[in-house]
């Protein structure tokens, strides 16, 4: 369920008001971008709500925040590196 950000960003942390959500507990998953159950929020939607562009949203997330990239194509890898050309079906020169 969606919950509003309260206060201001402190360093690279935010506070969320979850008082209206039933059965919420410390340690429950919180999704900043992506989906959970039937709910989804994209960088595009968050940018529109923030009055900026999606690029600024994704670039402003601190490097220490874990990233999980999900794709169904066979060339996909998890991580912060760009796959080698041959993995994407392009031969190296």
Residue pLDDT, tens place only, 61-70:
888 887 777 7
State yes or no: pLDDT of 44 exceeds 80.
Answer: yes
Give the count of domains, the chain.
1
- Which single residue is written with the structure tokens 């760009």? 82
Measuring CA to CA, how many Å separate 91 from each of 3, 73, 82, 88? 47, 18, 15, 9
Instruction: Convert the pLDDT of each residue in 2-30 to its tens digit.
Output: 999 898 888 778 899 999 999 999 999 88
Give the pLDDT mean for 25-49. 90
- Identify which has the larger pLDDT, 33 or 93: 33
Residue 24: domain span: 5-68
What distance in Å separates the CA atoms of residue 60 and residue 47, rounded to the nearest whole number? 11
pLDDT for the residue 86: 46
Does 91 fall in a domain?
no
Name the residue among 63, 45, 62 with its Cα closest to residue 54: 45
pLDDT for the residue 83: 53
CA atoms within 13 A on the CB side of 76: 8
What distance in Å separates the CA atoms of residue 52 and residue 83, rounded to the nearest whole number? 29
Does 47 fall in a domain?
yes
- Which single residue is written with the structure tokens 């490097």? 63
Does 30 fall in a domain?
yes
Does 19 fall in a domain?
yes
Q: Considering the chain, what is the average pLDDT of its residues?
A: 80
Does 62 fall in a domain?
yes
> Binning pLDDT at 50, 70 and 90, where does residue 78 land?
low
């Amino acid at each position: 369920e969606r919950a509003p950000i309260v206060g201001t960003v402190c360093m690279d942390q935010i506070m969320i008001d979850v008082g209206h959500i039933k059965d919420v507990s410390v340690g429950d998953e919180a999704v900043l971008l992506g989906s959970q159950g039937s709910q989804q929020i994209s960088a595009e939607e968050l940018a529109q709500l923030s009055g900026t562009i999606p690029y600024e949203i994704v670039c402003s997330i601190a490097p220490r925040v874990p990233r999980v990239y999900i794709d169904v194509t066979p060339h996909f890898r998890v991580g912060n590196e760009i796959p080698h050309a041959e993995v994407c079906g392009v031969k190296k020169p």
